[in-house]
Amino acid sequence: MSNATSILKVESAGANVGNFARISINGIEIGFGTYTRGLNVAVFDQATGSLLNKASFDTFIQGNAKNFVDFINNIPSGQIVALAVKDDAVYHLFEEPSQQQVIDAFLSIGSLKFRDLRFRDSLALIGQKGAVPGTATEELSATSAVSVTRSFDWSAPPVPLTEKRWLEIQRIFASNPDWSSQFGWSVDTSGQWLIIGAPLHERASVGDGGNDFGAAFIFQLQNDGSWLQTQKLQPSELKAGDRFGTSVAIDGEWAIVGAPYSDVYKPDGGAAYIFKLENNQWNLKQKLDHSQWNNVSDLFGSSVAIDGEWAIVGAYLAEAPNAGDAGAAYIFHLENGVWNPKEKLQPPELRVADWFGWSVAIDGEWAIVGAKLTDNGGVVDVGSAYIFHLENGAWKQKQKLQYSDFKVADYFGQSVAIDGEWALVGAYYANSSAGVVDTGAVYAFRLENGVWQQKQKLQPPDLKVGDYFGVSVAINGNRAVVGASGLEGIHWNNSGGAYIFQLQNGEWHQEYKFVADRHNDEYTTNGNGSSVAITSWGVALLGSYNTWYRTDDSTYGAKGVHYYYGSVYVIGQR
């Protein structure tokens, strides 16, 4: 296809309104072949308009949803994707275990209207692989056939997605902000959902009085690509000082929130709460039972992670035999709708105050646990990270990750992340190769023949004293985000920020640096990037728990001056 301007058209009709699908260019059907019941997908080269691939997925039949996911995931970034539903597509489309993968596949081609797709609906869309959700041209209807068109100038050089400009696209605040609530202390995302922890948030009936019940806030992705708060999570049984929201994690229809100072079993023993998505509402389902392991001041729930049917909870001050505050991590398994305690992870070599469980992450059959105060050959507080593997239903320790260029108090294991064959470990007090102190560093490990090998040290050359690069890390597919909470802004010291990295040919390359700064009605001090998350389509979320938000007479006409702490920055490409 070489015509200068071409019109790509996609038509769709559900079973009750015509029962057909068609994809054409300039009025000529593309030669798709037989359009079947379900999802009919065609992929076009973004530079030439040539048809690269086509496939139909009858998702009325179980198993084809996963085939659709695999097809979408294998499309190179930037290619044009046309999708037409015929008859019905949803009968087995959003069933477990591939439900979240299906959601991520639609999001990865810029779609959002798929969320409203129902039995025998019509859906036509034209998107682009790797595009921001909400940018696809799409129409959905339960009562009529639909069609969409887009014009392409395939004689002009394409603009790759990677050349789009990175920028701040949203700044998220709680709808009912609470002074000094530390909103943004923790953050995580899965599909169209975002969860943000505010461990010092109060109860509405109490107000600000230093009671620190804590809360977690749920946001949902909107059709315009923005995030809107839909819910505030705050179990009624919380007591003052529980700090619910210190840690958060979300995956598919499950979320977990830690309250490490809860006294539910023992004073400051800690707790973690499980929520489930039901009819677009996140409902509290259970408090994880760890009574068999809990002791005073364990701080169970100081870190949490969840993936599929497994959850892991850190308690970095848990006792070990003859080693106080050695730390531990606990595994829970989803069985018949209930999360049951399965294992206590605690390497036998742990010593006093190693803080194993300070950070945790889990993906599939692999888990990683940070112990940021372990010693190495007599050098104190170097830190380490431990790798565990699921084997025959049990989690077995496989490796202890360390690195060669360590020094005193690097705090390797401050942050951990794992996705597929890659794991990242932050050492946010590491020095630079030039001897600049506390710049921070992140180490990338890759799974090769069953062994995790150190492949790369991430340490941007512009880091300065006290930037704390690696205070937080997150990874999703071929993109990673690293928090650096001490970065200096143009108008404000120690504003904080983050670096975005992209995986290219087996190496991680810096793609973008974001630094928070002072605004007309807001300024940030010590906190931006202290927590990070990244969506499956490459949008970064940066927690800034110490953001000050100010309104006064001169700005908004409000009476008095109000300060609210905490926000989350949304950083993406436009």
User: What Cα–Cα distance (Å) separates residue 246 from each residue in 206, 278, 313, 315, 464?
Assistant: 20, 24, 12, 12, 28
Do 52 and 174 belong together in one domain? no
User: Is residue 522 over pLDDT 90?
Assistant: no
**Which pLDDT score is estimated for 1?**
45
More confident residue, 190 or 4: 190
| Confidence (pLDDT) at 516 | 79
Helix (H) or strand (E) holding 426: strand 422-427
H/E stretch holding 99: helix 99-108
Interval 91-136: pLDDT, tens: 999 887 778 889 989 999 999 999 889 999 999 999 999 888 888 9
- Please tell me the total count of domains within the chain: 2
- Above pLDDT 70, what percent of the chain? 91
| Cβ atoms of residues 389 and 366 within 8 Å | yes
Looking at residue 440, its pLDDT comes to 97
Percent of the chain with pLDDT over 90: 75
What SS3 class is residue 114? helix
Same-domain status, 135 and 176: no
Helix 99-108, helix 64-73: angle, nearest 10: 40
Which amino acid is present at 289? D
The two tokens of residue 573 are 């490409």
27: number of Cβ within 10 Å: 7
pLDDT of residue 164: 63
Query: How large is the average pLDDT for residues 141-166?
Result: 79
Q: Which amino acid is at 504?
A: Q
Cβ-in-10-Å burial (0-12, 13-18, 19+) of 175 comes to exposed
What CA dihedral angle connects 235, 226, 84 and 106, to 10 degrees? -60
DSSP 362-399: EETTEEEEEETT--BTTBTT-BEEEEEEEETTEEEEEE
- Local confidence band at 524 (pLDDT 50, 70, 90 cut-offs): low
**Contact indicator for 465, 490 with CB cutoff of 8 Å:** no
pLDDT, average across residues 438-453: 97
H-type alpha helices, 428-531: none
Mean pLDDT across the stretch 297-321? 97
Q: 135, 162, 189: which is the final residue of a domain?
A: 162
> Which region among 127-131, 272-276, 300-304, 445-449 has the lowest average model confidence (pLDDT)?
127-131
User: What is the domain extent for residue 306?
Assistant: 165-573
Q: Can you name the residues that pair with 85 across neighbouring β-strands?
A: 39
Q: Are 440 and 392 in contact (CB under 8 A)?
A: no
Structure confidence at residue 266 as a pLDDT band (50, 70, 90):
very high
Amino acid found at 490: I
Same domain for 506 and 396, yes or no, is yes
pLDDT of residue 166: 84
Helices (H), 221-286: none
**Who wins on pLDDT, 1 or 59?**
59
When pLDDT is averaged across residues 506-523 and rounded to a whole number, the result is: 78
pLDDT band at 159 (very low <50, low <70, confident <90, very high): low
Shared domain for 380 and 508, answered yes or no, is yes
Give the DSSP H/E element, type plus range, for residue 32: none
Query: For the segment 389-430, what is each residue's pLDDT rounded down to a tens digit?
Result: 999 999 999 999 999 899 999 999 999 999 999 999 999 999
Tell me, yes or no, whether 186 and 320 share the same domain. yes
Question: Which of 369, 543, 429 is CA-nearest to residue 442?
Answer: 429
CB 463 within 8 A of CB 472: no
Spatial contact of 290 and 345, defined as CB atoms under 8 Å apart: no
Q: Select from 359, 362, 352 the least CA-distant residue to 384.
A: 359
**Is residue 162 pLDDT above 70, yes or no?**
no
Shared-domain flag, residues 150 and 172? no
Give the closest residue to 177 by CA, choosing from 486, 568, 555. 568
Q: How many residues does the chain have?
A: 574
Q: Are 122 and 13 in contact (CB under 8 A)?
A: yes
Residue 523 has pLDDT above 60, yes or no: no
Query: Do 214 and 103 fall within a single domain?
Result: no
Largest distance between two CA atoms of the chain? 77
- Indicate which CATH number applies to the domain containing 492: 2.130.10.130
Residue with tokens 């206590």: 344
Tokens of 393: 């239903």
Same domain, 133 and 236: no
- Rounded Cα distance between 525 and 485, Å, is 9
Backbone angles phi, psi at 515, to 5 degrees: -125, 125
Are 72 and 206 members of one domain?
A: no
Residue 247 is predicted with a pLDDT of 99
pLDDT at 222 over 70: yes
Residue 345 pLDDT > 50, yes or no? Answer: yes
Which one of 162, 180, 210 terminates a domain? 162
Enumerate the β-bridge partners of residue 415: 426
Q: Are residues 213 and 81 in the same domain?
A: no
Of the residues 106, 128, 162, which one is the last residue of a structural domain?
162
What one-letter code names the amino acid at 106? F
Q: Which of 7-16, 67-76, 177-186 has the lowest mean pLDDT?
A: 177-186
Q: How far apart are CA 341 and CA 320, in angstroms?
A: 19
According to DSSP, the β-strands at 303-307 and 310-315 are antiparallel
Query: Rounded to 10 degrees, what is the CA torsion of 419, 423, 429, 435?
Result: -130
Single out the residue of 44, 68, 72 nearest to residue 56, CA to CA.
68
Q: Indicate whether 357 and 418 sit together in one domain.
A: yes
495 pLDDT band, cuts 50/70/90, is: confident
The arithmetic mean of pLDDT across residues 150-165, rounded, is 69
Opening angle at CA 253, ends 252 and 257, nearest 5: 95
End-to-end CA separation in angstroms for the chain: 27
On whether the CB atoms of residues 288 and 272 are closer than 8 A, the answer is yes
- Residue 204's pLDDT band (cuts 50, 70, 90): low
Determine how β-strand 328-335 pairs with β-strand 310-315.
Answer: antiparallel
At 558 the pLDDT is 42
Parallel, antiparallel, or unpaired: how do β-strands 5-14 and 80-87 relate? parallel
Asked if the model's pLDDT at residue 387 lies above 90, the reply is yes
pLDDT digits (tens, 9 = 90+) for 51-82: 999 999 999 999 999 999 999 999 998 999 99
CA dist., res. 513 & res. 168, Å (int): 11
The chain-wide mean pLDDT, for the chain, equals 91
Do 449 and 542 sit in the same domain of this protein? yes
Q: How far apart are the C-alpha atoms of 413 and 411, rounded to whole Å? A: 6
